[in-house]
Structure 1
Amino acid sequence: MLKRCLPAIALFLLAPAVGELLLGNLAFSQLPLFLPVLAPMYGGGALLIREVTRRAGRGPVTMLILGVAYGLVEEGLADQMLFNHFYAGHDEMGATYIPALGMGGWLTIGVLTMHAVWSTNAGIALVEALFPERAETPWLGRTGLGVTAAIFTLGTAVVMWGSYNDEHFFARPGQLIATVVAIVALVAVAFRVRPRALLDGAAPRPWVVGVVAFAAASLFLNTADLPGWWSVAAATALLVVTVTVTSRWCRRRGWGRGHRLGLAAGAILTYAWVGFGMTPETAAKTTGDYVVNVVLALGSVALIALAARRLHGFRPPLAADEEKAEVRF
């Protein structure tokens, strides 16, 4: 039973580890919050996205869109950071604040991208590479899926309660309604994605994909330091270019699981180095925080290396190694 559920358990723990700990958002003193608070929402959310996608016979494009929806659940409904001008005592919106929406330009683009990529899909891709023989099949039965949904709902409610307790902030009804509508629309779009025609030419090597992903992710996270709306323009341009290039690569001959691992590895290693310079939201950085950074960075490298080795040694059944264009993204 434990062996059967091992991939699901791994993702449940890895998602919050990447989404919060690797980036350095959580202070060393707050580590006790990892399992009771972060794992139910992050881990439950990532696992739910992965399971409903695979059960529907869909692939990574669907997961990516659902990752954006997850970002809206967490940042728009749970902790409501998208609408809180001075979240955790900091002016997170700065010069790109849009008064009519009560939202920040870069903040909205930044946090939704971070959740879609790092909080959900990077962990999913890494765990699927660690268990290649089960990468495209469900890891949970119906009961397990129901329990996961319940855990995610409970985790979201706990974060909402805790955030309100700390911030004493609640978004306007119109903002919350618009967020729910956007979430529903994204979920509907996610399951209407269809495969696109293959393109001529061969896909680049997985390590090239990983290097490009690392460079793009590093540049994206640093666009926040640009002045005013230049940050929004740069972040948007990077997203458009990265999505366009990747969507063309994944429709070329030879694209497969190793390339998807390359994308995840580039993103995860970006968080690993950025985390060393990140100051936790609620406290000054301490020696303990740097120790956590080192341990998690080394652990990330080890997991990526292990996943690459397992993929290299994996031989899929005949006719199962060529994924559909939508799945291959």
Structure 2
Amino acid sequence: MPKRKTALATLALLAPFIAEFLLGDQYLAGPPEIGKQLGMYSMYVALYGSGALLIREAARRRGLGWPTILVLALAFGVAEEGLLTETLFNPHYLGLDLLSPGHIPVLGLGAPWTVYVLTLHVVWSIATPIAIAEAFFGRSPWLRTPGTWSWSVLLAVGAVGTFAVSLGLDAAHFLAAPGQLAGALVVVVALILVALRLRAPAQAPSGNAWLGFAVALGLSSAFQVMKTGLGISPWLQTGVLLALEAVAVGYVLKARPPAVSLAAGAAVTYCWLGLSTAADAGFAALVEQGVLVAGTLVLLGSATRRNILLTV
């Protein structure tokens, strides 16, 4: 298989693996059957895999860097959580009370949940798999015009499937208010327009990769721990989440570490988080998750060695 096709397959498979399986979300309702897991994975390849590929291509074809990728990733997150699964607006999604803490009545949002779930998509669903894939295959464009159309159609299929499954899983078959859906759509379009107008070109990294890994692991772990709120006010919780993001952005702008070192730190955070989720689902789930984590660590080691990034 040509290198370009291998690169496409790697990112398409890696994005849903990190976004849902390394995180351990397949165990939220207990260990599902292997057939259901494969079905979930296929749908997520269509959604996350296509989304990550198209976002990367939109930036790299224009010679643009990570600011464009991150803003497009935010647009993807708003689209998924606001228009497809609608967790931004559904107060009882999967029986969970997501929106009561820090509720904003005029928007129908929960402040901590909105910040948390959108960050998941920006950092883990899109940016992390792109950085790892590019560590192996570089920054040049991978898609040609027919491929772009094909992956766009697959993204649409994944979006429809995600919406249908989310609607079916919700006992009340929740649908957000028309104003909420229209607002989310406006935000998505605005973010896409802003992202494509950014003129920040791709730049070579210059910072220490070991430090980048440590900072990313520490900040992303702290971010995940803050998800629980630790018994503090939801508004303080939201402020801490945003502060952690601000520190991360400031560090990256100043130190410019290799993207894959940051991705490695974020991925290792999902490793321990996924193991903790699997532990609640039983021994078989914990064994399965252990295999996924081991494979991830091997992949990260290969990516960093290949680029001679983790140097003293």
Structure 1 equivalent of residue 178 of structure 2:
173
Q: Which amino acid aligns with 2:288?
A: V
Q: 1:205 aligns with which of 188, 197, 208?
A: 208
In structure 2, distance between residues paired with 1:140 and 1:232: 38
Helix, strand or coil for the counterpart of 1:83? coil
| CA distance in structure 2 between the partners assigned to 1:309 and 1:34 by the alignment | 32
* Aligned partner letter, 1:276: L
TM-score relative to the length of structure 1 = 0.86
Partner residue, 1:322: none
User: Given the alignment, which residue of 85, 90, 94 partners 2:96?
Assistant: 90
CA–CA distance in structure 2, aligned partners of residues 222 and 242 of structure 1:
16
Please give the residue correspondences for 1:93-132 in structure 2 after superposition, counting only pairs within 5 Å: 93-131=99-137
Give the one of 159, 162, 171 matched to 1:156. Answer: 159
- Are 1:64 and 2:89 matched, yes or no? no
- CA distance in 2: counterparts of 1:26 and 1:174, whole angstroms: 32
Provide the rounded CA distance (Å) in 1 between the counterparts of 2:248 and 2:144.
35
Q: Distance in 1 between matches of 2:42 and 2:129?
A: 19
TM-aligned CA deviation for residue 299 of structure 1:
1.1
- 1:1-329 superposed matches below 5 A: 1-27=1-27, 28-29=31-32, 30-131=36-137, 135-167=138-170, 168-195=173-200, 203-226=206-229, 227=232, 228-250=234-256, 259-278=258-277, 285-312=281-308
| C-alpha separation in 1, matches of 2:23 and 2:206 | 30
Query: 1:38 Cα deviation (Å)?
Result: 1.3
Contact 1:66 1:186 in 2 (8 A): yes
Cα drift, residue 286 of structure 1: 2.5
**Mapped partners of 2:78, 2:2: distance in 1:** 32
Deviation at 1:274, TM superposition (A): 1.0
Please tell me the residue identity of whatever aligns with 1:94: S
By how many angstroms is 1:93 displaced?
A: 2.2
What TM-score, normalized to structure 2? 0.90
Does the Cα contact within 8 Å between 1:24 and 1:289 map onto a contact in 2? no
State the SS of the aligned residue for 1:194.
coil
Runs of 4+ in 1 over 6 A off after TM superposition: none
Partner AA of 1:173 in structure 2: P
* Structure 1: distance between partners of 2:94 and 2:2: 39
Contact 1:16-1:34 within 8 A present in 2 as well: no
Distance 2:73 2:146 in 1: 23
State how far apart, in whole Å, the 1-side matches of 2:188 and 2:278 are.
Answer: 30
Percent identity, aligned pairs only, is 36
Question: Which stretches in structure 2 are left out of the alignment for 5+ residues?
Answer: none
* 1:147-184 superposed Cα distances (whole Å, 9 cap, x missing partner): 01110111001111111122101111111111111111
Which residue number corresponds to residue 323 of structure 1?
none
Shift of 1:32: 2.5
The alignment covers a number of residue pairs equal to: 296
Q: Any gaps of 5 or more consecutive residues in structure 1?
A: 314-329
| Code of the aligned partner of 1:126 | I
Asked whether the 8 Å contact 2:74–2:118 carries over to 1, the reply is yes
